Amino acid sequence: MIMQDKVFESTTPPLEVLAFRICEQDFCFDLDSVREIRGWTETTMLPHAQPCVKGVINLRGAVVPVIDLAQRLGLGTMEPGPRHVIIIAVLEDKTVGLLADVVSDILVISRDDIQPIPEIVDAATRRFISGVVVIEDRMIRKMDLRLALPAADRTAA
């Protein structure tokens, strides 16, 4: 009887996430957004870009912005080097590079494994993080990638 209940509870399809580290902190987001993972490539800076935009790279003929997720999340500014990675993600019709220290895992988790963020956490954090996944002794913040990316400045003409 318990086994049947367990099978019934797990009827929702599992979720695949890409786990990565930024400033010694674990994060993840849905794997279906990931196009590829590349080694660090020097960026071309853009004048007047938002502070979290490291610059742009050439990805097979396409100009792709690279976002410093550490800075975007308020963890400080990363000084990338040869050991860092750029996660190329596609959201809707936009391709973006996300600077990270390292990609650690591809995890298959149950949606039930995602714990809500405590109510006491401020709205700025809740804006980027949709939940926390506890796996063994790790707590991995699940990022809502759409909300973590900077919005374009709509006041520019």
Query: How distant is the alpha carbon of residue 14 from its chain centre?
Result: 18
Residue by residue, pLDDT tens for the chain (157 residues) are 333 443 435 567 899 999 999 999 999 999 999 999 999 999 999 999 999 999 999 999 999 999 999 998 888 999 999 999 999 999 888 999 999 999 999 999 988 889 988 877 666 666 788 899 988 888 999 998 888 777 754 333 3
Query: Which pLDDT score is estimated for 99?
Result: 96
β-sheet bridge partners, residue 141: 27, 132
Would you state the structure tokens that stand for residue 44, as one six-digit string?
A: 């071309």
Three-state DSSP class for 74? Answer: coil
Query: Which pLDDT score is estimated for 7?
Result: 43
Domain ranges of the chain: 15-146
Q: Please, are residues 99 and 21 in contact by the beta-carbon 8 Å criterion? A: no
Query: Which pLDDT score is estimated for 127?
Result: 75
DSSP string, the chain: -HHHHHHHHTTSPPEEEEEEEETTEEEEEEGGGEEEEEE--PPBP-TT--TTEEEEEEETTEEEEEEEHHHHTTS------TT-EEEEEEETTEEEEEEESEEEEEEEE-GGGEEPPPTTS-HHHHHHEEEEEEETTEEEEEE-HHHHSPPP-TT--
User: What's the CA gap between 65 and 94, in Å, rounded?
Assistant: 10
User: What predicted TM-score, i.e. pTM, was given to this entire model?
Assistant: 0.84
User: What's the CA gap between 108 and 106, in Å, rounded?
Assistant: 7
Burial grade of 18 (CB within 10 A; 0-12, 13-18, 19 or more): buried
Three-state DSSP class for 33? Answer: helix
For the domain covering 15-146, report its CATH number: 2.40.50.180
Dihedral-angle region of residue 129 (phi above 0 means left; psi in -120 to 50 means alpha; beta otherwise): beta
